[in-house]
């Protein structure tokens, strides 16, 4: 038989995870292949120009969709576990589980149509008479970036605090701060004052300094106003006027308002989602897998 599509794998994947235990994603590959009765050649069939099997690739997207719907979760990097919502779905004994079934969950709808903080238009992923192939491709491109951002945050949270602090400096260097001739490790220092993790020169000539606070906190651990006040106090102690507070989680309303209210000290707040987007934009912790060029007729080339 043909290798099943990712949507066909969603129900058997959820059923496999029904034992409630943590499983590495790769543990599900063979059980899913057995479920569909795939031959050895089908199991080993590789994606074009890749070393990853097509079964593993499509299963990864099934996993992504189920996580976005809240049926699965990632307790740690590379591992998945069924949620209470996922168990509830299984208890209903569904005969199928596809994208349309997942649309009942708001978190999945937001993933499919990321209307907030996104410049892209809301475009259904299926090709229809209303959507051009280019529009469908653009919609799927934004969806891939959304999933990549989640994977990045998951990877960052599994790393050490010292790695995260170095990652922050690497990102700022990639964004053009500091000197390209300066070693990234020399761009930081530990101040041991509890409020500043390091610093980086604002420009290549070192005319000004930006101080950094990096908090590798769990996604549900919100940074509040007290943490920002402590950072501002540390900046003042250094005689500094510019600081960047970066966290993998998010900020409370009070923290955001306090940072904006500062007159003589400017503090930029970067939360987890912004951090991931900046890492993608500046190629920190990611690599280009494939590029597509969409070409059109050059009207200036041809005579009228």
pLDDT mean across residues, the chain: 85
d(CA 172, CA 246): 11
pLDDT digits (tens, 9 = 90+) for 118-132: 444 444 444 444 566
Q: Which pLDDT does position 91 carry in this prediction?
A: 95
How far from chain centre, in Å, is Cα 230?
Answer: 28
Return the minimum-mean-pLDDT range out of 54-58, 82-86, 144-148, 203-207.
203-207
Instruction: Provide the residue ranges of all domains of the chain, joining segments of one domain with +.
Output: 1-104, 161-281
Is-same-fold flag (1-104; 161-281)? no
Which pLDDT score, from 0 to 100, does residue 206 have? 67
Q: List the single range of 85-89, 114-118, 197-201, 291-295 with lowest mean pLDDT.
A: 114-118
- The per-residue pLDDT for 73 is 94
Whether the model pTM is above 0.75: no
Please enumerate in sequence order all residues whose Cβ is within 8 A of that of 37, keeping only pairs 6 or more positions apart, or say none. 1
Q: Which CATH class is domain 1-104?
A: mainly alpha
The domain at 161-281 falls in which architecture? 3-Layer(aba) Sandwich (3.40)
For residue 122, the model assigns a pLDDT of 43
């Amino acid at each position: 038989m043909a290798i099943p599509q990712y949507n066909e794998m969603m129900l058997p994947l959820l059923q496999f995870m029904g034992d409630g235990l943590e499983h590495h994603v790769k543990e599900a590959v063979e059980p899913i292949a057995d479920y569909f009765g795939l031959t050895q050649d089908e199991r080993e069939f590789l994606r074009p120009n890749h070393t990853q099997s097509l079964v593993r690739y499509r299963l990864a997207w099934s996993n992504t969709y189920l996580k976005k719907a809240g049926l699965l979760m990632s307790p740690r990097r590379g591992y998945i576990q069924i949620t209470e919502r996922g168990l509830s779905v299984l208890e209903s004994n569904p005969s199928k589980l596809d994208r349309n079934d997942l649309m009942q969950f708001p978190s999945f709808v937001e993933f499919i149509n990321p209307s907030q903080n996104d410049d892209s238009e809301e475009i259904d992923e299926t090709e229809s008479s209303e959507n051009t192939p280019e529009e469908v491709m653009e919609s799927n491109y934004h969806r891939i970036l959304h999933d990549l951002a989640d994977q990045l945050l998951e990877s960052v949270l599994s790393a050490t605090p010292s790695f995260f602090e170095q990652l922050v400096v690497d990102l700022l260097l990639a964004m053009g701060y500091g000197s390209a001739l300066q070693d990234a490790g020399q761009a930081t220092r530990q101040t041991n004052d509890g409020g500043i993790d390091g610093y980086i020169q604002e420009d290549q000539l070192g005319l000004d300094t930006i101080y950094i606070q990096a908090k590798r906190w769990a996604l549900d651990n919100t940074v509040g106003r007290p943490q920002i006040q402590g950072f501002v106090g540390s900046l003042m102690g250094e005689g500094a006027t510019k600081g960047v507070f970066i966290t993998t989680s998010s900020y409370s309303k009070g923290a955001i308002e306090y940072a904006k209210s500062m007159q003589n000290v400017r503090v930029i707040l970067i939360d987890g989602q912004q951090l991931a987007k900046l890492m993608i934009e500046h190629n920190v912790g990611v690599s280009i897998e494939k590029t597509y060029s969409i070409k059109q007729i050059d009207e200036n080339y041809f005579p009228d």
